[in-house]
Every structure is written in structure tokens, then in C-alpha cells.
Amino acid sequence: MHPEIACPRCGSPVNPNIPTCPNCGINLTLAAIIVTEESIAATHLEPSGAPITPEIFVPRLGEILLEKKVIRQSDLHRALDVSKKLNSENRPRLLGQILLDLKLIDRETLDEVVTQQILQLQTALQRANTLLEKRVQERTQELQHALNKLAELSKMKSNFISSISHELRTPLTHLKGYLDLISDGSLGPLTDEQTTAMDILSRSESRLEQLIEDLIRFSLAVRDEFTLHQGPIDIGGVIHSAVMQSTRHAKEKDLLLSASVEEKLPLVEGDQEKLTWVVLQLLDNGIKFNKHEGEVSIAAKLVEGKVVISVTDTGIGIPADRFDEIFDAFHQLDSADSRHYGGTGLGLALVRRIVEAHGSLVRVESQIGKGSRFEFALSPKK
């Protein structure tokens, strides 16, 4: 029975003949190599240390020599006593050299034992490397399979959204047509109560139409069918038009909606329809997530050769560590059980895609309970 040794990692006693520590699981062969490397480093750092020889790569040399019956237990104790004495005198010597000096072993036998042990350590290291490479390959294949599956599911989701959205368009068109006929009196006069009801229905239809259009835009973007129709844009005109369209929504919440456009802004290059949608979406978010009698402002100015558009609100704010989440599709920060605000969660996801397609980025600044600011820059038309 072999004496136990201390595990290099956790210090618990282990049988030197078992491959791993039962307490922490470390590979004892590899651990021995690590300990040996640390010994080499210590030798380099100590000017009076023992010279570097192949023996330094072999841990537990005395134990190995006992196993091979090259020396006796009394010989090992004698050599260890000499080693302790030399260490106390700051004259450290390797155990093999001490055994040679005491003529308890010859150089040929020592070199043979050291060489065998180094080869065994090298073989163990090669096996460990081979096993590690195999595990890395297996994990890489698993990850690739997962990525392929995710891409497939994403494509299926996009196709489903596109198909459903287009199918919803047809009955919605019929619904909108008849609502218009009823509202303008083409199918007969309406009472005051019916007129109020028709106004509510018309607004709901418009909201549903907008949601469907957002779904279609998103499905096109995901399938890389997202194209820009570039042209010169008067960004001031876009902003004033968007503010006019958002005024009614702001008044319903008693919000102050304002615009500030710097004079003589240069025309920008981009897709006017999509950028108008971006501005409307940012205004809509500023209104939707605002507090009663709050404020929403939009501004455009020239900064370092770029036209910078910003939308600022006094709403609920966004946690700083969750800025990236607000741009995830079908995602809102409030939980499903406590959602106080409507929407599909597509608005900002599409905003980011459209802005990035114009070679820009959406910047976010926000404080909880104080409001948020969304900003992006556009290049002037050349």
C-alpha cells in the first residue's frame, strides 16, 4: 500500500496511483506538471537554487524509486534528512543529486527512471489534449446544430408572420371600406351615439392596420427583403408632418408636444417613408410611455456635419442595464401579467433596423421616473 499524498489543488489526501482527486476532481498527472512548472519558476527566481535538470520534471521521485526497488526506505529517509539540512542552510539540492552524492544510486539508473517518468507524463498530457480536442469538437458541433435550428425557427416565424399579416389585410380592407361608407352617411344617416361609436371603430381599425403594417415590415426586414428608396429629404418637413399626426394622441393624454428644427438644415439622404415612420414611432413611444401632463419634444440640428434628430420625453424611463432589451422584437420590459401599455414590441426593433440601414445608430439616454431621449444622426445629401 502506497502512502497518501496531498492534492495540489485542494490539499486533501489522495492515493498517488489514482488518476483524479476524489474531492475536487483535478487530474493528478496534469496537476503534477503544473506543480513542476511552478518549481522551475521558483528555481529561476532563486539565485542559490538547485540547477535545472531533467529530474525537476518528475514529481515524487523518491516514491517512484521505492516502487521500483532501486532504493530502500532507510535510504530515502537518509537522503531526505540531508535535503532538509541543505535547505535550512539555503543550499537546496534535488533529491536525485543527493542520492548520487550519497552513492545510493548511480547516474545511469537515475537517468533511466527520470526519462521513463517524463515519457509517461508526456503520454498522459497527449491523452488529455486529445480528449480535450474531442470534447471541443463535439461541443462545437452541438452549438452549430443549435444555431442552425435557431435560424430555421426564426425563418419559420418570419414566414408565418408574413403570411398571417397579408391574410389579415384582405378582411381589414373590406372592414375599412364599409366603416368609411357608414361614417360618411353613404348608407344612411347616423345618430349622435352611432357617430361616436363609428369614431371609436375607425380609430381601432387604424390601430389594427398599423399593427399589421409593422408585422409586414418586420417580416421583410428579417428575410433581408428590406430595401431603401433613397432620395433627398427635408427632415424639417418630416418632423412637422409627424408632429401634426401625433398631436391628437398627445392631447388625449394631456401632453405637451413640441418641435424645434434648426433653420437652414441641409437635405439628408434616405428613404422618406421609412424615416417618417421612425419619427412617428419615436413620438408614439414618447407619448405612450409618458405620465399625465408630461412633455414630448422632437428636435433636429446640425452637429459636426450630421443632421441629428432627437426625441425626448418625461416618461417612465428605462433601466440603464436594459437598454439593449428594448430593441428586441416582440419584447417589452414590463411583464406579461402587468403590462400597462399596448403594442407588439416591434416598434423599436424596426426603428433600429431602419436607422442602421441608413448607416447610423440609435443612442439612448434615460433615467427611471424622469424620462428618455432617443437620438440618431443622418448624413446630408452630397
Same domain, 47 and 61: yes
Nearest to 161 by CA among 205, 210, 220: 220
Instruction: Among 203, 222, 241, give the residue marking a domain's end.
Output: 222
Same domain, 39 and 110: yes
Query: Which positions ≥6 away from 378 have C-beta within 8 Å?
Result: 235, 268, 269, 270, 275, 306, 307, 309, 358, 360
Element (H, E) at 325: none
Same domain, 193 and 240: no
Same domain, 310 and 349: yes
Contact of 161 with 219, CB cutoff 8 Å: yes
Element (H, E) at 342: none
Count of domains forming the chain: 3
Same domain, 236 and 374: yes
Contact of 309 with 300, CB cutoff 8 Å: yes
Q: What is the dihedral of CA 8, 13, 17, 22, to 10 degrees?
A: -80
Predicted local distance difference test score (pLDDT) of residue 35: 47
Instruction: Provide φ and ψ at 306, rounded to 5°.
Output: -120, 145
Residue 356 sits in a domain whose CATH number is 3.30.565.10
- Domain span at residue 69 reads 5-142
Same domain, 272 and 330: yes
Same domain, 243 and 373: yes
Predicted local distance difference test score (pLDDT) of residue 226: 67
Q: Compute CA distances 158 → 64, 88, 106, 151, whole Å.
A: 66, 76, 78, 10
Same domain, 125 and 87: yes
Copy the grid coordinates of residue 176: 375599412
Same domain, 52 and 137: yes
User: Which amino acid, 236?
Assistant: G
Instruction: Among 96, 118, 142, give the residue marking a domain's end.
Output: 142
Same domain, 134 and 152: no
Instruction: Among 142, 175, 197, give the residue marking a domain's end.
Output: 142
Nearest to 343 by CA among 175, 198, 173, 218: 218
- Spell out the per-residue pLDDT of the chain, length 382, in tens: 455 666 655 667 767 666 666 776 665 554 554 444 444 334 433 444 445 566 666 667 878 888 888 888 888 888 888 888 888 888 888 888 888 888 888 888 888 888 888 888 888 888 888 888 898 898 888 888 888 887 777 666 666 666 676 677 778 888 888 888 888 888 888 888 888 888 888 888 887 887 777 777 666 666 665 678 889 999 999 999 999 999 988 998 899 999 999 998 999 999 998 899 999 999 999 999 898 889 999 999 999 999 999 999 999 898 888 887 888 766 555 544 334 555 556 778 889 988 998 999 999 999 998 999 999 999 998 7
Copy the grid coordinates of residue 337: 401579467
Residue 209 sits in a domain whose CATH number is 1.10.287.130
Same domain, 242 and 211: no
Same domain, 362 and 255: yes
